């Protein structure tokens, strides 16, 4: 275990038992280092702003505020590669700018050795998709978050363009295609709008109550519909 990994694991261990303390001897045995090393690690974390304090006495030790969250101190090569692949797949999505920003953060917290190895492996991975001249407007991502009504210009499969007011409800992704799921006021019903067929999207001031959306509402008759999330729930 590297020191970076140990620092992160140390914080996680203290948070898991908080507000109870862990002694430096107990932590040293767990991580296979000396008590002096644990003391140096704790000092480094404290200097970095992590709220760790010492409880005196025989039953004392180091304590951590259980509400404290610590940004990852580094990714493994496999983790960084998975992040690069996932974020790279969003390059033509409404979330492409946020994905690019997130990727810069992944790079920033990955040490040079792992980053170089990850970058080398990434050159062997390619994402195959159809070339499209139009990308989904980024306003779609903002509207999903804010809940504002969108005025969109949408071209159907025959190239006929209509102007519509829609209430964004979600997205469905199939291959390289992103579909905005929205309540269409023109059709008075739930519709799926392919992102590359939306030429413009303007956020309006109106913010109606958010409509519920379930997998059953989508009426998908083929394929497997999977959810995305924090990883705590089933996908």
Query: What CATH number does the domain containing 47 carry?
Result: 1.10.10.10
* Per-residue pLDDT at 124: 94
**Position 133 in a domain:** no
Do 16 and 82 fall into the same domain?
A: no
Which burial class, exposed, middle or buried, applies to 187 when counting CB atoms under 10 A from its CB (0-12, 13-18, 19+)? exposed
Do 154 and 209 fall into the same domain?
A: yes
**Position 208 in a domain:** yes
* Per-residue pLDDT at 234: 39
pLDDT, mean of residues 81-105: 88
> What is the C-alpha separation between 213 and 66, in angstroms, rounded?
34
For residue 201, what are the β-bridge partners? 152
For residue 150, what are the β-bridge partners? 166, 203
pTM metric for this prediction: 0.65
* Band (68; pLDDT cuts 50, 70, 90): low
Do 88 and 110 fall into the same domain?
A: yes
Q: Look up residue 106 and give its two tokens.
A: 């992944």
Q: Considering its fold, how many domains does the chain have in total? A: 3
Select from 81, 98, 77 the least CA-distant residue to 142. Answer: 98
pLDDT digits (tens, 9 = 90+) for 12-41: 888 878 888 999 999 999 999 999 999 999
Domain residues for the domain of 93 are: 77-122
3-state secondary structure of 96: helix
Q: Look up residue 199 and give its two tokens.
A: 């030429």
**CA-based diameter of the chain, in Å?**
78
Least confident of 6-10, 62-66, 70-74: 70-74
> What is the C-alpha separation between 62 and 55, in angstroms, rounded?
6
Do 82 and 147 fall into the same domain?
A: no
**Position 56 in a domain:** yes
Residue 231 pLDDT > 70: no
Select from 27, 111, 129 the least CA-distant residue to 75. Answer: 111
Residue 171 — φ and ψ, nearest 5°? -135, 150
Cβ-proximal residues to 21 (8 Å cutoff; 6+ apart), any chain: 55, 59, 60, 61, 62, 63
Cα–Cα distances (Å) from 90 to 42, 95, 131, 157, 189, in that order, read 39, 6, 14, 24, 28
**Position 132 in a domain:** no
**Position 94 in a domain:** yes
> What is the C-alpha separation between 161 and 158, in angstroms, rounded?
9
pLDDT digits (tens, 9 = 90+) for 118-154: 999 999 999 887 776 557 788 888 888 899 999 999 9
3-state secondary structure of 189: strand
């Amino acid at each position: 275990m590297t020191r970076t990994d140990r620092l992160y694991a140390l914080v996680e261990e203290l948070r898991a038992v908080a507000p109870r303390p862990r002694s430096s001897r107990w932590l040293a045995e767990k991580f296979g280092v000396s008590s002096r090393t644990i003391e140096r690690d704790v000092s480094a974390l404290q200097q970095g702003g992590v709220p760790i304090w010492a409880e005196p006495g025989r039953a004392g030790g180091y304590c951590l505020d259980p509400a404290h969250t610590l940004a990852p101190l580094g990714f493994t090569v496999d983790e960084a590669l998975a992040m690069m692949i996932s974020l790279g797949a969003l390059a033509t999505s409404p979330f492409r700018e946020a994905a690019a920003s997130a990727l810069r953060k992944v790079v920033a917290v990955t040490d040079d050795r792992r980053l170089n190895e990850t970058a080398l492996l990434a050159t062997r991975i390619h994402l195959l998709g159809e070339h499209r001249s139009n990308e989904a407007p980024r306003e779609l991502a903002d509207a999903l978050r804010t809940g504002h009504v969108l005025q969109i210009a949408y071209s159907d499969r025959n190239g006929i363009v209509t102007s519509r007011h829609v209430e964004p409800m979600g997205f469905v992704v199939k291959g390289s295609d992103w579909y905005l799921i929205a309540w269409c006021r023109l059709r008075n019903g739930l519709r799926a709008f392919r992102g590359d067929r939306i030429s413009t999207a303007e956020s309006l001031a109106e913010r109606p109550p958010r409509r519920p959306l379930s997998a059953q509402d989508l009426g998908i008759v083929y394929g497997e519909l999977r959810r995305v999330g924090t990883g705590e729930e089933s996908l």
